[in-house]
């Protein structure tokens, strides 16, 4: 293992020996890596190559909108105002965490173009931000009930290697936490950047 990559805090599930593909999946606010553990058998199909699912735990930090209570979070949420929602320093710190996780998979023999980034809510915001900036071509992104933070910086910071990266976006039409309008605005930014976005809406609240 690459000694420059921090110790891994989370869990992993392999669907077979010597996985040749990896899915790095980030949970939402207040949850942890176990949140999406049950989804693996629902996604995997017979005949697929061996996959490694990596479910990291976000660090514990105070969250402003929850009265400063400490909980697992990829970044602080400072306000219910959408323009002030994401703490940029925290977002960039978590992007660096994703970069370290990608490097960890590279060290285990999985190239960037066989790595899918997936995330729900806060986790989705981080994987979208990380994917568009990553310097090597990835396999794709799954972004659920989420949005693209720092959208105003994205065009200048986007990587040419991932301009055509496919994105799956799913959003609930009755989501009271991340309004569907914010998800669709993020979709439009991604399309303008050249990403083929597969956009799906579902009659549901903020859930999977």
Task: Kindly report, residue by residue over 21-72, the tens digit of the pLDDT.
Answer: 999 999 999 999 999 999 999 999 999 999 999 999 999 999 998 999 999 9
Tell me what pLDDT residue 4 has. Answer: 41
Residue 91 has pLDDT above 50, yes or no: yes
Instruction: Using CA atoms of 82, 149, 73, 28 in order, give the dihedral in degrees to the nearest 10.
Output: 90
32, 87, 175, 186: the catalytic one is 175
Look up 171 and say whether it is catalytic.
Answer: no
Range 97-126 average pLDDT: 97
Look up 20 and say whether it is catalytic.
Answer: no
Tell me what pLDDT residue 18 has. Answer: 94
94, 121, 129, 145: the catalytic one is 121
Look up 175 and say whether it is catalytic.
Answer: yes
Range 161-185 average pLDDT: 95
Residue 51 CB neighbours (<10 A) = 20
Tell me what pLDDT residue 6 has. Answer: 53
């Amino acid at each position: 293992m690459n000694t420059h990559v921090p110790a891994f805090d989370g869990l992993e599930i392999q669907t077979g020996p010597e996985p040749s593909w990896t899915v790095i999946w980030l949970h939402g606010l207040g949850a942890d890596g176990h949140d999406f553990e049950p989804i693996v058998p629902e996604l995997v199909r017979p005949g697929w190559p061996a996959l490694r699912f990596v479910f990291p735990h976000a660090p514990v930090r105070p969250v402003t909108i929850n009265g400063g209570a400490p909980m697992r979070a990829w970044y602080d949420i400072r306000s219910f105002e959408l323009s002030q929602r994401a703490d940029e320093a925290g977002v960039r710190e978590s992007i660096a965490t994703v970069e370290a996780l990608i490097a960890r998979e590279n060290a285990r023999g999985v190239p960037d173009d066989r790595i899918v980034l997936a995330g729900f809510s806060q986790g989705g915001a981080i994987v979208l931000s990380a994917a568009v900036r990553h310097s090597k071509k990835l396999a794709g992104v799954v972004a659920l009930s989420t949005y693209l933070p720092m959208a105003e910086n994205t065009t200048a910071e986007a990587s040419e290697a991932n301009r055509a990266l496919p994105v799956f976006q799913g959003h609930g039409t009755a989501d009271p936490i991340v309004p569907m309008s914010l998800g669709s605005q993020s979709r439009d930014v991604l399309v303008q950047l050249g990403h083929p976005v597969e956009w799906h809406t579902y009659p549901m609240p903020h859930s999977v």
